[in-house]
Amino acid sequence: MKNTILHLLFVFCLNTVSAQFQSAELGISGLTCSACSKSVEMSLRKVSFVENITMNLERTEAKVIFKTGNPVEIEKLARAVMDAGFSLSYLNADFIFENLSVSNDFCFAYEKSTYQFLLSENKTLSGKTTLQFIGDKYLSKKDLGPWKGKMTTLCKSKDKKAGFYFITL
């Protein structure tokens, strides 16, 4: 009973993290030619917090470097790829943590967004950590399947317009 109460307190008390996104790797479905690649690159370059982009047509992916100190909105990356006429097969982002202990359903706030971990074990995160974004905008239908039953929103945010993301390691 005591552990259940502590878990609920953990879930409903949002932890604010002072850290920074550094970069992201985006798998892009349907990227087949250099014109397609250029279209995605140009769309991503319009995103205000993007500093640089490296496209890899052979691997159908983009590596995006973020401007230091600028708020990063992952949703805008997904939107830029969709605006170019493509979809994401995956979105992984590197985030710098400072000794943060996380567990399944652990929630934290960064900038104006809320993040909820979907994990199988407890971990302490320090330094650069790659986060995998889970959701229909960030994964192919096939890769999303195993996550469907685990995506229950337990985090409460004061700002109803803020972004919300499921993530894993």
Question: pLDDT at residue 29 above 90?
Answer: yes
pLDDT of the residue at 57: 95
Q: Who has greater pLDDT, 150 or 161?
A: 150
CA angle (96 as vertex; 19, 156 as ends), nearest 5: 55
Token pair, residue 78, equals 């997904």
Q: Return the structure tokens found at 29.
A: 């479905």
Can you tell me the mean pLDDT for 2-17? 44
Tally of CB atoms within 10 A around 107:
21
Nearest to 17 by CA among 101, 79, 110, 125: 110
Measured distance CA(92)–CA(132) in Å, rounded: 4
- Please name the residue that has the structure tokens 């195993």: 146
- 85-137: per-residue pLDDT in tens? 999 999 999 999 999 999 999 999 988 899 999 988 899 999 999 999 999 99
Q: Which of 9-23, 24-38, 101-115 has the lowest mean pLDDT?
A: 9-23
Question: Which listed CATH number (1.10.1740.10, 3.30.70.100, 3.20.20.70, 3.90.1150.10) goes with 15-168?
Answer: 3.30.70.100
**In the block, residue with structure tokens 């710098």:** 96
3-state SS, residue 147: helix
C-alpha torsion sign, points 130, 106, 111, 134:
positive
Residues 11 and 9: their CA atoms lie apart, in Å, by 5
pLDDT band at 16 (very low <50, low <70, confident <90, very high): low
Per-residue pLDDT, 162: 76
Specify the range with the lowest mean pLDDT, choosing from 13-17, 34-38, 77-81, 94-98. 13-17
What pLDDT is stored for residue 11 in this prediction? 42
- Name the CA radius of gyration of the chain, rounded: 16
Q: Where are the domains of the chain?
A: 15-168
Whether 34 contacts 20, CB under 8 Å: no
The label of the residue with tokens 């700002």 reads 159
pLDDT of residue 121: 87
Cβ-based neighbours of 83, under 8 Å, separated by 6 or more: 43
Average pLDDT, the chain: 88
For 138-152, what is the mean pLDDT?
A: 93
